[in-house]
């Protein structure tokens, strides 16, 4: 099992190239199921979750070709296996995203219910309810969702909660449905907009992506397309927080500043200097930060995927601040590990009160989920002495070569087996 070894204390400086967004690439990969023609994608990040999704699509019958460093072509001409088996879904919940497109194009789909995960139960009831509203007959038995429908029809669907992959699943299903579908209380995340742009390139008729009302006029078929995945805003935010904490000056390139307003505003509140260009964000900090209150909520508010990283930042900032998690019921597992490094954090319900301490101490800590692992890397970068982070397979799911990118910026970090 790999681990990361970090010696804290080095300021970060230089440029880091941001990879394609995991949470945009995953739904866009499944969009290839909607057409018999090839979908050629650029800027696809090399991540565990992406390889898992490609393996699943290959299992279903897609022809997958990696034609150079960052391009992948998928051809869904024939999909004999219209199913996502448990052993593939259990390691990656985003596999639920094959449900909508497979059902819409072939009239049937069999997808394992994703189990819960470390950060919460994460049901998919809203995905199912939306497809039923579009005419699907859905049976849930033996841990699988069996969905059937001659042809889905348009519907007006008001989502009880804002769900990112729920919105994405239903948007893809509606693209081939008969008639018009209106998704109300839809997720506004940039990754939803990126998927909509790709679907439109394939011939879909979609209006309102990025707002909370998305209208999809179904068409009979979708054609192939070429599309390039957006930059990963959470990877960008993670590097910006790293530089704010260690002190120094870092420019994230191939980024998309317009997807990070809430995060950049909080970094400025903390005392860092943040400048933006068309495709870059530069941060400068002396490492002496003010603690900032954070409350997660759906986009465009502060993203839950940046909560753990800001908690790490608050552990060494001046003053005290509250971190409130409103999206997931159990996304504070990094608190225990940060405490082992000397952080002063009290949790009551969905709010953690963080009091800044002069410095953290290196320790052996354990990653529990993707963003918690990132938070521990950030803590290790500023802690005195050596930090060992175990179970970093969680980290590899969402960050491409993080130790190489951090080393380039001057961090003392290496992967040990
Ligand atoms: C997406 O997960 C992201 N994953 C998550 O990123 C992200 O944290 C999350 O959105 C919130 O922004 C991908 O895009 C692949 P939700 P998703 O459905 O779609 C409840 C990361 O670190 N809910 O928006 O699964 C759910 O339990 C990952 O990259 C239902 O109750 O999240 C949660 O409390 C972690 N019923 C809330 O809604 C449903 O049918 C938001 O979940 C669906 C969701």
pLDDT less than 50: residues of the chain: none
Of 249, 238, 309, 257, which Cα lies nearest the Cα of 273? Answer: 249
Q: Does residue 94's CB lie within 6 angstroms of at least one atom of ligand 1?
A: yes
- CB of 157 within 6 A of ligand 1: the answer is no
Q: Which atom of ligand 1 is nearest to the CA of 96?
A: 25
Choose which residue among 29, 114, 138, 166 to substitute to test ligand 1 binding: the one with the highest number of ligand atoms within 8 A of its C-beta. Answer: 166
CA 355 to CA 376: how far, in whole Å?
17
Å from CA of 305 to ligand 1 middle: 10
In whole angstroms, what is the distance from residue 321 CA to residue 323 CA? 7
At residue 67, the 3 state secondary structure works out as strand
Q: Is the CB of 309 under 6 A from ligand 1?
A: no
Check residue 70 and give its pLDDT.
74
**Is residue 26 in contact with ligand 1, taking CB distance under 6 Å?**
yes
Expressed in angstroms and rounded, the spacing between residue 169 Cα and the centre of ligand 1 is 12
Q: Are 289 and 272 contacting, i.e. CB atoms less than 8 angstroms apart? A: yes
pLDDT at 160: 96
> Ligand 1 test: best mutation among 122, 130, 367, most atoms within 8 Å of CB?
122
Atom of ligand 1 nearest to the CA of 97: 15
Q: Considering only CA atoms, which residue is closest to atom 26 of ligand 1?
A: 122
Give bridge partners of residue 221 from the DSSP assignment: none
Q: How far apart are CA 263 and CA 280, in angstroms?
A: 14
Q: Is 200 strand, coil or helix?
A: helix
pLDDT for position 120: 77
Q: Which residues are catalytic?
A: 117
How is 326-351 classified by DSSP, letter by letter?
-S-TT--THHHHHHHTT-EEEEETTE
Q: 165 alpha carbon to ligand 1 midpoint, in Å?
A: 6
Please tell me if the CB atom of residue 16 comes closer than 6 angstroms to any atom of ligand 1: no
For the chain, give the percent of residues with pLDDT over 90. 94
Residue 250 alpha carbon to ligand 1 centre in Å: 30
In ligand 1, the atom with minimum distance to the C-alpha of 165 is: 19
What is the structure's pLDDT at 323? 98
Which residue's alpha carbon is nearest to atom 41 within ligand 1? 163
With the most atoms of ligand 1 within 8 angstroms of its CB, the residue from 116, 163, 372 to mutate is: 163
Q: How many helices (H) and strands (E) would you count in the chain?
A: 14, 24
For the CA atoms of the chain, what is the radius of gyration? Answer: 21
Give the pLDDT score at 116: 66
Buried b (16+ CB within 10 A) or exposed e, 230-258: bbbbbbbbbbbbbbbbbbbbbbbebbbbe
Which residue's alpha carbon is nearest to atom 6 within ligand 1?
Answer: 305
pLDDT tens digits for range 38-57 = 999 999 999 999 999 999 99
What is the spatial distance between Cα 37 and Cα 177, in angstroms, rounded to a whole number? 18
Helix axes 125-133, 99-106, angle to 10 degrees: 20
Nearest CA to ligand 1 atom 30: 123
């Amino acid at each position: 099992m790999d681990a990361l070894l970090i010696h804290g204390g080095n300021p970060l400086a230089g440029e880091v190239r941001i990879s394609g967004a995991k949470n945009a690439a995953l739904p866009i990969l499944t969009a290839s199921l909607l057409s018999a023609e090839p979908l050629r994608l650029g800027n696809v990040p090399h991540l565990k979750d992406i390889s898992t999704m490609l393996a699943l699509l290959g299992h279903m019958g897609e022809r997958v070709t990696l034609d150079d460093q960052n391009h992948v072509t998928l051809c869904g001409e024939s999909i004999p296996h219209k199913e996502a088996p448990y052993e593939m879904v259990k390691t990656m919940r985003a596999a639920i995203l094959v449900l909508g497109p497979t059902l819409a194009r072939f009239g049937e789909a069999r997808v394992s219910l994703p189990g819960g995960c470390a950060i919460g139960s994460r049901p998919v009831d809203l995905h199912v309810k939306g497809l039923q509203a579009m005419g699907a007959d859905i049976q849930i038995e033996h841990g699988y969702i069996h969905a059937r429908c001659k042809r889905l029809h348009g519907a007006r669907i008001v989502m009880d909660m804002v769900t990112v992959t729920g919105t994405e699943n239903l948007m893809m299903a509606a693209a081939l449905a008969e008639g018009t579908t209106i998704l109300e209380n839809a997720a506004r995340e940039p990754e939803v907009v990126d998927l909509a742009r790709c679907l439109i390139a394939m011939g879909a008729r979609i209006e309102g992506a990025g707002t909370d009302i998305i209208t999809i006029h179904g068409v009979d078929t979708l054609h192939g397309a070429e599309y390039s995945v957006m930059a990963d805003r959470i990877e960008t935010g993670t590097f910006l927080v790293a530089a704010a904490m260690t002190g120094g000056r870092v420019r994230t390139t191939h980024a998309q500043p317009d997807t990070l307003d809430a995060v950049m505003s909080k970094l400025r509140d903390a005392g860092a200097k943040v400048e933006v260009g068309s495709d870059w964000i530069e941060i400068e900090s002396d490492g002496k930060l003010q603690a900032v209150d954070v409350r997660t909520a759906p986009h465009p508010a502060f993203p839950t995927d940046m909560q753990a990283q800001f908690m790490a930042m608050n552990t060494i900032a001046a003053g005290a601040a509250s971190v409130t998690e409103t999206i997931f019921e159990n996304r504070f597992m990094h608190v225990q590990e940060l405490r082992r490094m000397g952080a002063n954090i009290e949790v009551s319900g969905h709010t953690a009160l963080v009091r800044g301490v002069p410095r953290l101490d290196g320790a052996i800590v354990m990653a529990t989920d993707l963003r918690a692992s990132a938070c521990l890397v950030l803590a290790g970068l500023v802690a005195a002495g050596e930090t060992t982070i175990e179970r970093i397979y969680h980290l590899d799911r969402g960050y491409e070569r993080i130790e190489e990118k951090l080393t380039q910026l001057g961090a003392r970090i290496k992967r040990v087996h």
